Structure 1
Amino acid sequence: MIQGHYGEVASVITAVCWTITAVAFESAGRRIGSLSVNIIRLVIAFVLIGLYTSFSRGMFLPLDATREAWIWLTLSGMVGFVIGDLFLFQAYVEIGSRISMLIMATVPPITALTSFILMGETLTLMDLLGMFITIGGIALVILVRGTTEEKKVELSHPIKGLFYAFIGALGQAFGLILSKYGMGDYNAFAATQIRIIAGIIGFAVVVTFAKSWGKIYESFKDFTAMRNTTIGAFFGPFLGVSFSLLAVQYTTTGVASTIMSINRILIIPVSILVFKEKVSMKEIIGALITVAGVSLLFM
């Protein structure tokens, strides 16, 4: 059953991993800040992947990667990890991981539009319908009836957090495209390590300019935050990102993105159990509609 569907299975594993990592990083980010979580989790993931590739490939660093792979995967790491995750993790703090993940459902439509504009790929009527339904499902969750006659519709969450999540979606979409272009048939875990190296360098620059090294040092004293950051690093940039690259290596980006999008559904019961969030029926329906829209996009 699984044989011949490695990409699809990898996509399901990715969805589960991203559900766990979103909750872990939201919890850690609320305690020590999103910038600290970002750079610490990448360092942890770098070590984890290095240990894994030492056993699986006989080398700690991806020294066998081509120059072209290094260039494109480094760009992918800068765009996906530094720009995308910098905003996404702050969105976790502002509006929570559940709503942030829902906004991230715009990644497949953005990917499709980018491919249409830059690569000349065709957009069918079904693609456009899928985009419309995806945006409609998100709108159902983030828009509510206004409290005054002047405001018939208003946002249910802070606009700053929603904006951060959307920038995070842009970063992930472009990072995924750059990853697929640069990886080819290269080892997915080694490719992830190149992206992580780029991410660490990028965040080191950000932390230096923000003069936040002292705050990051203080973060190590918070046991709960470090535990959650480690859990997030294991299931996020180590397993999750590696399996996402494995997914796009064995199946189309569209199919992989569609299956990965089920984490918008998986995170609902987790948010209820872990953060004691009150989730309305409208929000559950909105999440289901969003996933349905993403699925239509790549049929």
Structure 2
Amino acid sequence: MIFTQFTGEIAALFAALFWAIASVIYARVGTQISPLGLNLIKGGIAIALLLLTIALQSGGELPEFTPWVFGLLPLSGIIGIGIGDTAFFTTLNCLGPRRALLLETLAPPLTALIAFIFLGERLSLTAWGGIFLTVLGIAWVITERAAEMVGMPLRLTRGLIFGSIAALSQSTGAILSHLALTQSGISPLWSTLLRIVGGVAVLVLALPTQRLSPAALLKPLQSRRVLGIIILATFFGTYLGIWLQQTALKFTAAGIAQTLNSTSPLFVLPIAIAMGDRVSWRAILGALVAIVGVAMLFLG
């Protein structure tokens, strides 16, 4: 009964868990491959996994959906995956997984702001208090000078810029997906595929600007270790993570889905401790303040 009643909420929590796991894994190869290249490779792997799942689930039969849905979901992928994920991988390289995920908690208040401007949704004083607490908690943690990973330099300004771009892109992509999923009968599985196809398409178009040849792009994959890490992280973070995110956006309100998706920092902290990373009380309290702020935003 509880799984039927809270399908979207449970899906969002598992998406947050899988993104936390994937972010820690991606950080291990982030210095060996460019953010755009990593985003393109994991997108290609995810498309293959999704096509296999669709073939096994429905025999590859195409669903019925209107042209506007067919356009809206790839656009969501272009913004949320093509731009957002590339910016997020850059943030990982600059700040490390814990701070990068905490910066991503900007996405829920940004979603509320976009909804206010374009959908006319008004926020209560409690909600605006949640925005303040969220930003305060994020700022508290990311300005901490303690090194997060051995040998990883902290580039705060660059990380803040790309982290903000990632959060804005994720918010916009989530709203577009929510509109398509709730205004049509398309399944979360197909919406995931269309989103990722859109994201990969824009990355392919961006390749010439990065001066990345196919040989240079695929060179890191010659290492079985690097290839295995990318496949594992893609399975959790892109294939399962985005599929669960789309399920959440289908079965619950966009605000609730974004709020629960932003709980990745709560999952990444025990992962960091298990990996031997020192987590200060300041980081723990900052994460809690940010999550309380996010909860206030949508409870309001």
**TM-score under structure 1 normalisation?**
0.91
1:144 deviation in Å?
A: 5.4
Q: Describe how 1:22-37 pairs up with structure 2 within 5 A.
A: 22-37=23-38
The answer as to whether partners of 1:32 and 1:225 remain within 8 angstroms in 2 is no
Match of 1:162 in 2: 160
Distance in 2 separating the partners of 1:27 and 1:289: 28
What's the secondary structure of 1:28's corresponding residue?
A: coil
Match of 2:92 in 1: 92
Q: Describe how 1:1-299 pairs up with structure 2 within 5 A.
A: 1-59=2-60, 64-143=64-143, 158-184=156-182, 185-213=185-213, 214-274=215-275, 276-299=276-299
- Return 289-298 or 229-238, whichever deviates more: 229-238
Distance in 2 separating the partners of 1:79 and 1:67: 19
The answer as to whether partners of 1:20 and 1:235 remain within 8 angstroms in 2 is yes
1:140 deviation in Å?
A: 1.3
The answer as to whether partners of 1:15 and 1:263 remain within 8 angstroms in 2 is yes
Distance in 2 separating the partners of 1:69 and 1:57: 20
Distance in 1 separating the partners of 2:25 and 2:81: 17
Distance in 2 separating the partners of 1:230 and 1:65: 31
Once superposed, which parts of structure 1, at least 4 consecutive aligned residues long, lie more than 4 Å away? none
What's the secondary structure of 1:29's corresponding residue?
A: coil
Q: Deviations over 1:238-273 (max 9, x none)?
A: 111111110111111111122222211110121233
The percent of aligned pairs where both chains have the same amino acid is 30
Distance in 1 separating the partners of 2:63 and 2:30: 33
The answer as to whether partners of 1:255 and 1:298 remain within 8 angstroms in 2 is yes
The answer as to whether partners of 1:42 and 1:237 remain within 8 angstroms in 2 is yes
Distance in 2 separating the partners of 1:171 and 1:271: 26
Q: Deviations over 1:149-188 (max 9, x none)?
A: xxxxxxx852101211111111100010111112333110
1:31 deviation in Å?
A: 2.1
Amino acid of the structure 1 residue aligned with 2:93: V
Q: Deviations over 1:28-59 (max 9, x none)?
A: 22222222211110000000000001111221
Q: CA RMSD in A?
A: 1.6
How many pairs align? Answer: 287
- Return 32-41 or 74-83, whichever deviates more: 32-41
Q: Deviations over 1:114-149 (max 9, x none)?
A: 11111110110111010011011112112359xxxx
Structure 2 unaligned segments of length 5 or more: list them: 146-153
Amino acid of the structure 2 residue aligned with 1:89: F
